[in-house]
Amino acid sequence: MATVAQRISILLTLAGASLRSEFQYRANAVSAVISGMIYQLTGFIAVWIIVARFNEIGGWSLAEITFLYGMRLTSHGIFYACFSQLFEADRVMVTGEYDRYLLRPMPPLLQLFTRKLRVNCFGDLIGGLLLLGFASAGVDVAWSPQTVFYLVLAVTGGALVEGAVQIMLGSLSFRFLQTMSLRVTVNEVFNLYGNYPFTIFPKALEYLLTFALPVAFVAFFPASVVLEREDGLHVAPWLAVIAPLVGVGLFLVALRVWRRQSRHYQSSGH
């Protein structure tokens, strides 16, 4: 088995290769990035129109909601950049492509991740960072190196939360093969409900989207911490602060689940 350093270097090589292959068709790649960005920003414009018309939603100002939306979108961009191929897990298993992964001296999951890069993730990333940039000037936060550092951790942690959930759902494919619509639905729940302050949700939903499906940990919790809006939290503030750690923890659990479930893989033959 390769050392960690070797593994990382192989990983970077593979990631570079998929990036290069996407940009073989430069115009197409650029238009995918731009349309991805516009797509996400239009979603935001809808929210912006509503908040601008009604001044605030659930006690959160336009700048605060923009900040939350930007954090979530940036996390989602990182998630999509690293893990978009989880959405192809069904096909990889049905066609027996997974056989090849088993033969190579790299963890199969890493090979799945680096299979192909979806360039529209850069649209999410750029869009998210733009929103964060605009909002950070408007929100009432005393920016310090610590807050910026926490923000970076939080955004990464958010990507890990989404990644963990999708890895766990993806591992169901080993048994059931067709789990695509389930994964898309869960992804949509993150996309729809992750962008708003939980203060607009009924109590039961708040808990559901915290403990049953960890949507709150992606952006709402860390955003509340950065914006010092812990007043509206439905859980103890410390739980919100450790959101990035929860991301790491969930991710490690997800890796175990994947390894466990992969024992059920039945090759379709090549």
Partner 1 sequence: MTLARNLDALVAYGRMATRRMYIYRFNVIMMIVLTGITIYLLTLLWKAAYGDRTEVDGIPLQSMLVYLTIANLQLRFLSPEMDQDIQERIREGQIGFDLNRPVGYPGQLVAGAAGQMIGLLPMLVVAVPIAFVAGELRPPASVEEGFAYLASLVLAWLVAVQMNLLIGLVSFWTLEMTGFRMMYRLIGNFATGALIPLWFMPDLLRSIVQLLPFQAIAFVPVSIYVGEPATGGIWSALALQAFWAVVMVLVIQLVWRRAFRHTVIQGG
**What is the binding site for partner 1 (CB under 8 A)?**
28, 31-32, 34-36, 38-39, 42, 45-46, 49-54, 57-58, 178, 181-182, 184-185, 188-189, 192-193, 196, 199-202, 205
CA atoms of 109 and 36, how far apart (whole Å): 26
With left for phi above 0 and alpha for psi between -120 and 50, is residue 56 left, alpha or beta?
Answer: beta
The distance of closest approach from Cβ of residue 161 to partner 1 in the complex, given in angstroms and rounded to an integer, is 19
The distance of closest approach from Cβ of residue 71 to partner 1 in the complex, given in angstroms and rounded to an integer, is 18
22 within 8 A of 117, measured Cβ to Cβ:
yes
The distance of closest approach from Cβ of residue 46 to partner 1 in the complex, given in angstroms and rounded to an integer, is 5
188 versus 228: smaller Cβ distance to partner 1: 188
58 versus 133: smaller Cβ distance to partner 1: 58
Orientation angle between helical segments 62-83 and 120-138, nearest 10 degrees? 150
The distance of closest approach from Cβ of residue 247 to partner 1 in the complex, given in angstroms and rounded to an integer, is 23
49 versus 102: smaller Cβ distance to partner 1: 49
- Separation of first and last alpha carbons in the chain: 26
Q: CA of 156: how far to CAs of 119, 205, 226, in Å? A: 19, 25, 15
8 versus 50: smaller Cβ distance to partner 1: 50
2 versus 50: smaller Cβ distance to partner 1: 50
158 within 8 A of 217, measured Cβ to Cβ:
yes
Element of type H or E holding 77:
helix 62-83
47 versus 153: smaller Cβ distance to partner 1: 47
The distance of closest approach from Cβ of residue 52 to partner 1 in the complex, given in angstroms and rounded to an integer, is 8
Element of type H or E holding 56:
strand 56-57
The distance of closest approach from Cβ of residue 196 to partner 1 in the complex, given in angstroms and rounded to an integer, is 7
